[in-house]
Structure 1
Amino acid sequence: MSETPLYRAGLGHIVPPGYIRIGTSITLPAVLERLGFSSEVLCREEGVHPDIFGHPDNTMPYDHFCRFLSRCVRETGRDDLGLLICETTGPSSLGLVGFLLQQAPDVGSALADLVRYLRHSDRGAFTFLNRSKDVVSLGYVIYDGDAPGAAQVYDGAIAIGRNMMKALCGPRWTPTEVWLARPKSASTTRYERFFDAPVRFEAEYSALVFSGFWLDTPLPNADPALRAMLKEQIDLLEREDGGTLSEQVRRLLRTVLLTRRGSLDDVRLGLHMTRKTLSRHLAAEGTTFTKLSDEMRFEVARHLLRNTSMPMSGVTAALDYSEASAFSRAFKQWSGVSPTEWRRQNRPPPPLQA
């Protein structure tokens, strides 16, 4: 298998679209060694550059990263591998973005920085922050939820989120609930012990759920001058690569469909564009709002059918269809089979025993 070229991001160098910065999984070789497996051998067999884990600013294509994690799960027999990798990983693993959010005046501002700037560390996923009355959901969504190894990525991301919240709020912070968009693990007790909260597997999306009052927590050690300097560096990267409008629309569509916070029309409002202006800009990128909506509906539908036990009526409602028959027709056009048949063919196998 041909080896993936090594590309380093960091100060002055953007993470390419579709890539992830390796800092969040820098402990993977040590975890594999502890379990009795050689990371060098697995890297060689999977075409992963042998020095990829030598520096946190190294990057890797997201799909290749997910395949590699999937191979590691098969070899080790641990379906909680993502949790093992990231159980001690904190906000600094996000590089420039992680250092920036630690200099925010309060937790709410720090999480706003995370949502806005995560793509400068991770171009295969996005975060979102929902607040409903006094309950907050800090979520993480992979663009390609069908990628092998996605369960491990979700585990790792939410583990990092837990460690980040404790670093920002102090050790007394705990979530009220944890949602994981993955099949149930054979190690459920381990998850509940780590998060110190009930864990809901087969969830619509992955998120930490916690009380809203934590957002007002001040960060007394934050340095405004350092924050300004770090933000200037990230703004330079923004000017170099601010992302396409299509990327923004996909992110907003996915958030709306998964969280059911609003309708598809709300995406247009969120971009502060008229339909005509949005259509013109998307046409310049070779796409349309309808095409992007269908792509995201199909992605979210596959995720919900594969990874959750949500009834078909719930899937229909989540995808903004008024009738089950309309969703069924659309899904059959996309996949060639009915949603019921697709779910039967694609449900994951039973969890591995830890």
Structure 2
Amino acid sequence: MTPNTSEKSCSVLPAGHVQAIHFQPVSQLIRKLGGNPESVFRMLNLSEALLQDSAAVLPLSLAGELLAHSARETGCEHFGLLLGSLGGLDQLGLIANLMAKQPTIGDALATLVQFHHITNRTGLALLRQDKEDAYLEFCSMESNFRGFRHFHEGVMAIALNIMRSLSHAGWTPTAVYFSHRPPKNPQTYARFFGAPCYFNTAHAELQFPAALLLAPNAAMNASSITFLEMNTLEMSALDWLERARRTAYSLVARGDCNQPRFASALGISVRTMNRRLEQSGVSYFDILDNARYVVSRKLIRETDMPLKDIAAALSYTDASSFTRAFRRWSGVTPEQWRKARCS
């Protein structure tokens, strides 16, 4: 695919793309690890200069290829983690400015969840909590690409740095969860995050005490929002159907999607929701099926989770119901799909 560029004054990110400048340190990191960045860029027919352009965007598949080839060139299985460690709150641009206007860590994270699409149109940031714990989760709505693991590990490393900016430099999570297979050296990950790390899980998230959500935002700067920021927010607003699809995905990822909850998350009644979806040429079940298919492919391809656990994560009553649905979506069983892509 060919990378795209846009005018610097327009910050609207195309669907399925990420900002190229997030990958600016790739060359330096490859060299530091003893590799040759020129060979990586040549193999991908990608200009290294593109990553210096704040207005450039990359298709997610190309970004994943860049990370996969970089990891292979350097022999570093945690290349994505190291790249993400170089990023943080300052990479979020307008979102960081909006987060800095919030009084508490919880308010800042809620802002990140609301406007995450401005900097990443390929995934979702989610925040949930139970009585004692909170979870900051990142879901990729597109996972069937090479380099997914490296990409997602980078996102989790950036999330750690964001939390440290909002709290304090030495902040560590209670635990970290990855929705991919264990690496050869999981101890590296535990040392990096300063917390137990778990793999082959349904969610990729940082766990921490829920009480932290009420703590003061260490990055707070109560300046007023500018006209340019307001204009950017208006320009980047999602159309209704994309918002509906992202909402369905977030609920499916949490294992908690039904029509009343879906409509409530959109702020409308079930009747109005169905009418709007029909006007858009889709149904609730179309959107639900698509979200389940995307999440299931990620878990089948990237983890060793038993099919019964994947079925449960997607709110199926049993593995056979999930198998029938997956065969309807893909034409093959989940076992066949996993074998074809993981052999």
The verdict on a shared fold, with TM-score over 0.5 as the criterion, is yes
Q: Give the direction of change, closer, same or farther, for the CA distance of 1:38–1:283 in structure 2 (3 Å limit).
A: farther
Counterpart of 1:225, as a letter, is S
- Does residue 346 (structure 1) correspond to residue 338 (structure 2)? The answer is no
Of residues 135, 144, 164, the one that matches 1:166 is 164
The question of whether the paired residues in 2 share the 8 Å contact of 1:100 and 1:113 is answered with: yes
Counterpart of 2:98, as a letter, is L
The question of whether the paired residues in 2 share the 8 Å contact of 1:80 and 1:187 is answered with: no
Q: 2:183 maps to what in 1? A: 185
Of residues 13, 16, 33, the one that matches 2:14 is 16
Of residues 94, 97, 101, the one that matches 2:95 is 97
Give how far 1:56 is off. Answer: 4.0
Measure the CA separation in 2 of the matches of 1:243 and 1:221.
27
- What SS does structure 1 have at the residue aligned with 2:58? strand
Of residues 295, 306, 311, the one that matches 1:311 is 306
Measure the CA separation in 2 of the matches of 1:171 and 1:181.
26
Of residues 87, 90, 113, the one that matches 2:111 is 113
- Greater shift, 108-117 or 35-44, is seen at 35-44
- Does residue 274 (structure 1) correspond to residue 269 (structure 2)? The answer is yes
Give how far 1:12 is off. Answer: 4.1
Counterpart of 1:252, as a letter, is T
Q: Give the direction of change, closer, same or farther, for the CA distance of 1:337–1:147 in structure 2 (3 Å limit).
A: same
- Does residue 256 (structure 1) correspond to residue 251 (structure 2)? The answer is yes
Q: Give the direction of change, closer, same or farther, for the CA distance of 1:20–1:248 in structure 2 (3 Å limit).
A: same
Measure the CA separation in 1 of the matches of 2:106 and 2:245.
24
Give how far 1:116 is off. Answer: 0.6
How many residues in Structure 1 have an aligned counterpart in Structure 2?
343
Tell me the alpha carbon deviations over residues 162-191 of structure 1, each in whole angstroms, 9 at most, x when there is no partner: 011111101342101001112211231111
Tell me the alpha carbon deviations over residues 287-323 of structure 1, each in whole angstroms, 9 at most, x when there is no partner: 2221111111111111222223333222222222224
Give how far 1:249 is off. Answer: 2.3
Q: 2:3 maps to what in 1? A: 4
Q: 1:301 maps to what in 2? A: 296
Q: 1:176 maps to what in 2? A: 174
- Does residue 245 (structure 1) correspond to residue 240 (structure 2)? The answer is yes
Give how far 1:57 is off. Answer: 4.3
Identity of aligned residues (%): 26
Superposed CA RMSD? 2.2
Q: Give the direction of change, closer, same or farther, for the CA distance of 1:220–1:86 in structure 2 (3 Å limit).
A: closer
The question of whether the paired residues in 2 share the 8 Å contact of 1:245 and 1:282 is answered with: no
- Greater shift, 214-223 or 27-36, is seen at 214-223
Counterpart of 1:285, as a letter, is S
The question of whether the paired residues in 2 share the 8 Å contact of 1:139 and 1:206 is answered with: yes
The question of whether the paired residues in 2 share the 8 Å contact of 1:81 and 1:152 is answered with: yes
Give how far 1:76 is off. Answer: 2.5
The question of whether the paired residues in 2 share the 8 Å contact of 1:69 and 1:149 is answered with: yes
Q: 2:69 maps to what in 1? A: 71
Gaps of 5+ in 2: none
Give how far 1:99 is off. Answer: 3.0
The question of whether the paired residues in 2 share the 8 Å contact of 1:92 and 1:98 is answered with: yes
The question of whether the paired residues in 1 share the 8 Å contact of 2:11 and 2:236 is answered with: no
Counterpart of 2:287, as a letter, is L
Q: Give the direction of change, closer, same or farther, for the CA distance of 1:182–1:57 in structure 2 (3 Å limit).
A: farther
Give how far 1:270 is off. Answer: 0.9
Of residues 257, 278, 281, the one that matches 1:283 is 278
Q: Give the direction of change, closer, same or farther, for the CA distance of 1:121–1:305 in structure 2 (3 Å limit).
A: same
Of residues 120, 123, 127, the one that matches 1:122 is 120
Measure the CA separation in 2 of the matches of 1:54 and 1:23.
6
Give how far 1:342 is off. Answer: 2.4
Measure the CA separation in 1 of the matches of 2:314 and 2:219.
43
Q: Give the direction of change, closer, same or farther, for the CA distance of 1:162–1:85 in structure 2 (3 Å limit).
A: same
Of residues 9, 27, 30, the one that matches 1:29 is 27
Q: Give the direction of change, closer, same or farther, for the CA distance of 1:190–1:264 in structure 2 (3 Å limit).
A: farther
Counterpart of 1:60, as a letter, is L
The question of whether the paired residues in 1 share the 8 Å contact of 2:127 and 2:136 is answered with: yes
- What SS does structure 2 have at the residue aligned with 1:246? helix
The question of whether the paired residues in 2 share the 8 Å contact of 1:126 and 1:142 is answered with: yes
Q: Give the direction of change, closer, same or farther, for the CA distance of 1:3–1:293 in structure 2 (3 Å limit).
A: closer
Q: 2:221 maps to what in 1? A: 223
Q: Give the direction of change, closer, same or farther, for the CA distance of 1:216–1:342 in structure 2 (3 Å limit).
A: same
The question of whether the paired residues in 2 share the 8 Å contact of 1:57 and 1:95 is answered with: no
Give how far 1:102 is off. Answer: 2.9
What TM-score comes out, normalization by structure 1 length? Answer: 0.89
Q: 2:152 maps to what in 1? A: 154
Gaps of 5+ in 1: 350-354
Q: Give the direction of change, closer, same or farther, for the CA distance of 1:70–1:8 in structure 2 (3 Å limit).
A: farther
Q: Give the direction of change, closer, same or farther, for the CA distance of 1:172–1:37 in structure 2 (3 Å limit).
A: closer
The question of whether the paired residues in 2 share the 8 Å contact of 1:94 and 1:121 is answered with: yes
Measure the CA separation in 2 of the matches of 1:136 and 1:221.
20
The question of whether the paired residues in 2 share the 8 Å contact of 1:124 and 1:143 is answered with: yes
- What SS does structure 2 have at the residue aligned with 1:224? coil
